[in-house]
Amino acid sequence: MKKTVLVSGGAGFIGSHVTVELTQAGYDVVIADNFSNCDETNYKGVCAILGRELPLIKMDFCDKAAVDALFAKYPIDAVIHFAAFKAVGESVAEPLKYYRNNLLSFINILDAAREKGGCNVLFSSSATVYGQTDQLPVTEESPRQPAESPYGNTKTMCEDILRDSVKAYPGVRGIALRYFNPIGAHPSALIGELPRGVPNNLVPFITQTAIGRRECLSVFGNDYPTPDGTCLRDFIDIVDLAKAHVCAVTRMCENKMKQEYEIFNVGTGKPLSVLELITAFEKVNGVKLNWKYAPRRPGDITAIWADPTRAEKELGWKAQRSTEETLAAAWAWEKKLAGK
């Protein structure tokens, strides 16, 4: 019997890649999105990769009646929750917008799971919860630090809401995946990162500068206590990240969880500096980037990378794709968007 997975925010960057991997692994996927952060480009790309259309429901997860109707219509075995506002700067300027949307949407999903009598819930969390830690690499036991932004705080709060819900409601089980820095695009170049306006993430800024959409790439800070003075991050390929979700959903659906609530880091375990990533992009794609140093940005931490041992041991998952493959795919996606 095929299992059905609801992917909230499934038309976005991570959601679209997860949808492809889930479908190819034999799951039925229902995509639901309100398209506040994206258009239908990635959804159409998903259908092109798979060679068929998937159910797409346009809805807002803050609308409880719509969430309940969705759970009534489909035999949902698991939910992966991506639907959230995600711009750090905007969350500082508009905290109530972020708390209302990011918390209420998740509460409505858990409520529907509870009313159904149980469901597997996978929450899309973030390494943001660790803050600037003294212990590197970070393990799942590393203490969470106070968030630097309301956006980051919603990740911490949703983890706690999930933890408390699985304790209270029989049949509701949860996994939180803490992502590090997802980058790249699908090797087909049919889906990838599609930021609206000025990108918040480094790689779209790199590719948009390379293609000529941006005049110059700013590297924020060259005086960090790192080998080359730029920040260190754990950049994880988007397809590798997507495969981790398949492993986690399978673990839940096959009743292999050791506890009702589990947490896993999803990263490579290998830090790269911002400068190293830029240099690698230039080398693998034969492109010279126009970039310059700029002052540090408030809220940027010096270094963070994962200890992915638990995910490898428990989920049987490990990052496979090389930085070169990832950056080549990101560039192929950017060129396709530009029609080149």
151 is catalytic: yes
Task: Indicate the DSSP class of residue 128.
Answer: G
| Selected catalytic residue, list 98, 130, 151, 179 | 151
Categorise residue 121: left if φ over 0, alpha if ψ from -120 to 50, beta otherwise.
beta
**Phi, psi angle pair for 2, to nearest 5°:** -70, 140
Q: Residues near 60 by Cβ (< 8 Å), separated by ≥ 6?
A: 34, 66, 105
First-to-last CA distance in the chain? 44
Structure tokens at 155: 């990740």
Cβ-based neighbour number of residue 144 at 10 Å: 17
Task: Indicate the DSSP class of residue 185.
Answer: B
At residue 171, what is the residue type?
G
Task: Indicate the DSSP class of residue 224.
Answer: S
Q: Which residues are catalytic?
A: 151
